[in-house]
Chains A and B, each alone.
Chain A
């Protein structure tokens, strides 16, 4: 058994500043044990010292400060936390960060930039595929992954494939239009 957990003596993270973590350590009399985890996110490698309970979602948001990925329900029911692991979409809230060593993680920050939007991001802008925007990064990460999945051509097929991403504003119609426009051009 290769032990990767419970290393109270693990060195503090040296590559990423982690203000929140060090603060909680200084105020808590018995800090929880941490494990060292190496994560590859958007092509960059990060060495982190994490509480074993840390989800991939919390590692991204609270430790790497990649806050584009959102926390909605935190129980795999809304899709706001959708990221890609080795090119496939998953719910980052239902996955432990410590199980992702060696995986390639891609977040919304990794698929495009303000200067060069991903075609799906551009299409969401053009089609007005959002209102409040909270679910949008999850919607876009799902939509980008969908392009490589066996999904039928109809709008109904897209709706079914996107059912794991909820939008409480109800922007569904424009989201489907945005996705179909990208698929038509591909």
Chain B
């Protein structure tokens, strides 16, 4: 690990001013905010992250979960994953988020990891984590060792010639299905970004994963109220039963009224270069009868654009079945 200066931010302004000294917030940033540390410190030990300054933001007053006037919820950036998963408001109104959080990592890591940190979680691509291997995300233009390498766990949706790394988060998949908004404070003031626009596809610039700029601090996430009578479900499929990243996962929110699907949100995890919100699946579900044929059509639509590599073609069928099962569970009448 390279040497850095460690200091604690007293307030949000303080943190933003310190972060703004960095030339960027993407790969290679010289200043990093530290909250739970479960991603950042791990990558610093591998010399993948080498910030010269680390700003401890874990004690900023951003650790509340509150009901909002519109019937939604506001989640502070430093709320721990464990606290969010078990919060009564989340359990009652946003079951899919609670389920996704509890499907991720271990009890110890969930006690450390935060909402803002989870949004910025880095890929588990083994070549990204190994500084002796070429990686366009780590060193733009260096090449991608994964495309012709061990790519079994990599993404099949949203990939490019430069990068096929999958987004590892469970939480982000649920947030995508819940129409979350990310609230950011920065040197130019505050802004609110819908989660679909927050994450960037790798394209030719895989080093840039989100819209975050130098000095930007995620302060909170808001979730709108979900349609009355809607049900949600998170299903995660992986190589071992617990404490493992997803090969494929699905977060769904569905409302059935008068025998038809009146509202549907679908997001996939483990298969996309970003948390994969599938508007194609939602279009197939809209106003359809909630049965096996409809769910199969939705799954086909979600995976229609899949681009598998030599070892991860199995993810297409795995993700299809994952989504069909999640939709079946969310619409069960008994």
| Chain A residues within 8 Å of B, Cβ to Cβ | 1-6, 32-33, 35, 51-53, 55, 74-76, 79, 82, 88-91, 94-96, 98-99, 142, 145-146, 149-150, 159-165
Q: Among B5, B8, B54, which residue has its beta carbon within 8 angstroms of that of A2?
A: B8
Other A-B contacts than A82-B108, A88-B82, 7 sampled, CB-CB below 8 A, are A2-B7, A52-B3, A74-B45, A75-B42, A95-B37, A163-B242, A164-B105
Q: Which residues of chain B are near A55, meaning CB under 8 Å?
A: 41
A-side contacts of B36, CB under 8 Å: 94
The residue in chain B whose Cβ has the minimal distance to the Cβ of A51 is B3
The 4 closest A-B CB pairs, nearest first, are: A164-B106, A163-B242, A163-B243, A5-B6
**Which of A3, A53, A75 lies in contact with B7, CB distance below 8 A?**
A3
Q: Is the CB of B1 within 8 A of A53?
A: yes
State A33–B236 Cα separation when bound (angstroms).
Answer: 45
B108 engages A164 (CB within 8 Å): yes
Is B9 positioned at the interface, with any CB of A under 8 Å from its CB?
yes
A74, A91, A95: which has the most chain B beta carbons within 10 Å?
A: A91
B residues in contact (CB < 8 Å) with A: 1, 3-10, 14, 17-18, 34, 36-38, 41-42, 45, 54, 56, 58, 82, 86, 105-109, 111-112, 241-243
Determine whether the beta carbon of B107 is less than 8 Å from that of A142: yes
Min Cβ gap B113→A in Å is 9
Question: Pick the contact of A96 from B9, B41, B86, B243 — CB < 8 Å?
Answer: B41
Contact B107 A94 (CB under 8 A): no
Q: Which residues of A contact B1 (CB under 8 A)?
A: 53
Q: Are B10 and A2 in contact (CB under 8 A)?
A: yes
- What are 7 inter-chain pairs, A to B, with CB distance below 8 A? A1-B14, A52-B3, A75-B45, A91-B109, A94-B38, A94-B109, A146-B107
Max chain B CB contacts within 10 Å: which of A6, A74, A161? A6
How many A-B residue contacts, CB cutoff 8 Å? 101
User: In the complex, which of the residues B3, B56, B107, B108 contacts A32, with contact meaning CB atoms closer than 8 Å?
Assistant: B3
- The minimal Cβ–Cβ distance linking B227 to chain A, given in whole angstroms, is 28
* Contact between B7 and A91, CB atoms less than 8 A apart: no
Residue from B6, B9, B37, B86 in contact with A94 in the complex, judged by beta carbons closer than 8 Å: B37
Q: How far is the CB of B10 from chain A (nearest CB, A)?
A: 6
**Residue pair A76, B7 in contact (C-beta under 8 Å):** no
Q: Is the CB of B108 within 8 A of A95?
A: no
Which residues of B are found within 8 Å of A95, using beta-carbon distances? 37, 41, 112
Which residue of the partner chain A has the closest CB to B57? A99
CA of A142 to CA of B8, assembled, Å: 28
Most chain A beta carbons < 10 A, residue from B6, B8, B42, B111: B6
Asked if B112 and A5 sit within 8 Å, CB to CB, the answer is no
* CB <8 Å contact, B3 and A91: no
Contact B107 A89 (CB under 8 A): yes
B residues within 8 A CB of A149? 107
Cβ B109 vs Cβ A4 within 8 A: no
Q: Which of A99, A159, A162, A164 contacts B56 (CB 8 A)?
A: A99
Minimum Cβ distance to chain B for residue A57 (Å): 11
Contacts A55-B41, A150-B86: A99 and B107 contacting too (C-beta < 8 A)?
A: no
- Evaluate whether A90 and B112 lie within 8 angstroms (CB atoms) in the complex, with A2-B7, A75-B45, A79-B106 already known: yes
In the complex formed, the residue of A with least CB distance to B4 is A52
- The minimal Cβ–Cβ distance linking B234 to chain A, given in whole angstroms, is 15
Q: Taking A94-B41, A96-B37, A160-B242 as contacts, is the C-beta distance between A4 and B108 under 8 angstroms? A: no
Residue of B nearest to A91 (CB): B108
Contact B108 A1 (CB under 8 A): no
In contact, A163 and B41 (Cβ under 8 angstroms) = no
